[in-house]
Amino acid sequence: MLSSRRLFGTNGIRGVVNKELTSEIAIKIGTATGTFFQSGDIIVGYDARTSSPMLAKAVIAGLNATGCNVLFAGMASTPALQYAVKHHKTDGAVIITASHNPPEYNGIKVVWNDGIELSREQEIEIENIFFDDKVHYAEWSKLGTVRNLPKVIDDYVEAIKMHVDIAEIAKKHYHVVVDAANSVGSLAAPCLLRELGCKVTTINADIDGTFPGRPPEPRPENLKDLALTVKAIGADLGVAYDGDADRSIFVDEQGEIHCGDKTFALVEKYFLKENPNEKIVTPVSSSTLIKDVADAYGGEIVWTKVGSITVSQTMKKLNAKLGGEENGGIFYDPHQSVRDGAMATALILDIMAKTSKKLSKLLGELPKYFIKKGKVECPNELKEKTLEKLTEQVSGLNISTIDGVKIWFEDKSNILMRPSGTEPIYRLYAEAKTEEKAVQLVQEYSLKLKRIIDSLKS
Ligand code: MG
């Protein structure tokens, strides 16, 4: 983490606790971040990890040393803390979380005064302060203070309620199962859903930073208990959050787990029905489903690079109201332009209530695609050259090079090939109207990539 003059990855600073991310480093990140903010009021909060209180204290010490006042929110989800920045008009926030990573990891996200994580340019400013030891310590008489920030969860729940039809949802008496991954997802959503008139059953809802219930990444293979519970008790909906509750994956009343693309497309459809001509922001890795819905209901798709911060920043720049990711991130700007698991849950219930349709039916009405994934080994040093060669070879086709190479074919099938940011591999995502075609695309382009990589090796 420290060797390359780079601290921040795709979503903040991440590392294994007491190996890559120690309390000493956390203090230094606190002082660098405080120097970056040049004093002011900064909210600090954390997820349920065992190391979170320790790292929060270290970051707070660093922030105070540079004259920043800390508003300490304690344990809360990432979106609740981001909302608090907006609600209390603070200069920013530091959130201690490693989102969906295993329990031995932790991380530090830095949020700007608009509630969105810092842009890459701002991160570089903090990295330069950190690596060049340009910390500005405050005089003894100007050290920052710490005071508690109460009601962060209550304010957040109240804000979400303003964006849905509470009476309509309450009339339906929905039964919802919440799988909170033993983390901060259990703090706001169950209470929000009860206030929307739902009956709530929770699983993995006791706070436990060892994550005994399931890994905090809401992949289908981790959500079997949720799916079984929904079916067994005849619930109307199941929802699972990741470790910091900004992403949500839904299970329909039949116990089927749905990918994030589908639920995003559903939210998009009903959003565009009420707000035609709006821009929809989504990474190039998202399903063509998102474009089909935009085409059918008068929306305009804006494709971005992969990464939630890019989606948020693009939404802000274009004044777009809705964004989404295939991993279960839904960004609903009337509330806040960051991904938000509890807001997404309220939106899905709102659609179910207004249409009087079950989730399986609503999702069944969307166009269908088959998705296949693959990977090809590629040494890190050959990734860029491989991308150049690949782009050259497919330049006659309908392609996008926003992030990796994506090729769209006339039959609506497509394939995206991206170098992984963390592993020596290329990832392939193919999508088609039939399973055979998706498989064939992965095979064909895996072979093409292998040939290019082999030629570069020799
Ligand atoms: Mg997350």
**CB atoms < 10 A from the CB of 53, how many?**
14
Res 133: pLDDT: 95
Predicted confidence at residue 449, as pLDDT, reads 97
For residue 9, what pLDDT is reported?
82
262/364 Cα distance (integer angstroms):
9
Q: Is 99 a catalytic residue?
A: yes
Q: Which domains are present in the chain?
A: 3-150 (3.40.120.10), 155-364 (3.40.120.10), 370-457 (3.30.310.50)
Contact 253, 360 (CB under 8 A): yes
With the C-alpha atoms ordered 167, 171, 173, 178, is the resulting torsion angle positive or negative?
negative
How remote is the CA of residue 107 from the centroid of ligand 1, in Å?
11
Distance in Å, CA 245 to ligand 1 centroid: 6
Beta strands 398-400 and 92-96, pairing class: unpaired
pLDDT tens digit sequence for 109-161:
999 999 999 999 999 999 999 999 999 999 999 999 999 999 999 999 999 99
How many Å lie between the centroid of ligand 1 and the Cα of residue 327?
Answer: 10
Single out the catalytic residue among 99, 186, 308, 413: 99
pTM (two decimals): 0.95
- Over residues 290-299, the pLDDT tens digits come to 999 999 999 9
At residue 12, the pLDDT reads 84
Do residues 324 and 331 touch, judged by C-beta distance below 8 A? yes
Tell me the pLDDT of the chain (458 aa) as tens digits.
555 788 988 778 999 999 999 999 999 999 999 999 999 999 999 999 999 999 999 999 999 999 999 999 999 999 999 999 999 999 999 999 999 999 999 999 999 999 999 999 999 999 999 999 999 999 999 999 999 999 999 999 999 999 999 999 999 999 999 999 999 999 999 999 999 999 999 999 999 999 999 999 999 999 999 999 999 999 999 999 999 999 999 999 999 999 999 999 999 999 999 999 999 999 999 999 999 999 999 999 999 999 999 999 999 999 999 999 999 999 999 999 999 999 999 999 999 999 999 999 999 999 999 999 999 999 999 999 999 999 999 999 999 999 999 999 999 999 999 998 778 999 999 999 999 999 999 999 999 999 999 999 98
pLDDT score for 1: 52
Output the CA 21–ligand 1 centroid distance in Å. Answer: 18
Ligand 1 centre to CA of 356 (Å) is 31
182 to each of 186, 283, 342, how far by Cα in Å?
Answer: 7, 29, 16
Q: Which two tokens stand for residue 210?
A: 């060892």
C-alpha 174 – ligand 1 centre gap (Å): 26
Q: Are 299 and 278 within 8 A, CB to CB?
A: yes
- CA of 237 from ligand 1 middle (Å) equals 21
Alpha carbon distance 254, 250 (integer Å): 11
